[in-house]
Amino acid sequence: MGNLPFPWLALGLGLLVAFGLTGSGALGPAEAYRLPVLTMLIVNEFGFFVTAIGAGIGVNTLLAKGMQGGLLLSVVGCALLASGFLYLGIRLWPV
């Protein structure tokens, strides 16, 4: 087995960040947060950028090398996670 392409690494790292954020109470009411809001926003932004870059690199690779089932799966996963991070960042942003 060779090196993993970046979209797979981005998907794994994005899942770890997502589990960490949900474990810190990011989806609950503001009183239930276990981390400061700014910390959750920074971690959320990191997860968004990693997964968005993973999806972009994956799309470029798919266009260059043709359709590959595993890579397509990781691109879809990265895109879904990036949209989830975007939603969570907007939800966490103080009004």
- 73 assigned to some structural domain: yes
- 1 assigned to some structural domain: no
Q: Quote the tokens at residue 47.
A: 């997860």
> What pLDDT is recorded for position 27?
87
- The Cα 50–Cα 32 span in angstroms is 27
Domain of residue 79, residue span: 6-24+31-92
What's the predicted TM-score (pTM) here?
Answer: 0.90
Domains of the chain: total: 1
> What pLDDT is recorded for position 1?
44
The per-residue pLDDT of the chain, averaged, comes to 92
- The Cα 95–Cα 89 span in angstroms is 12
- 16 assigned to some structural domain: yes
Give the tens place of pLDDT for each residue, 55-87: 999 999 999 998 888 999 999 999 999 999 999
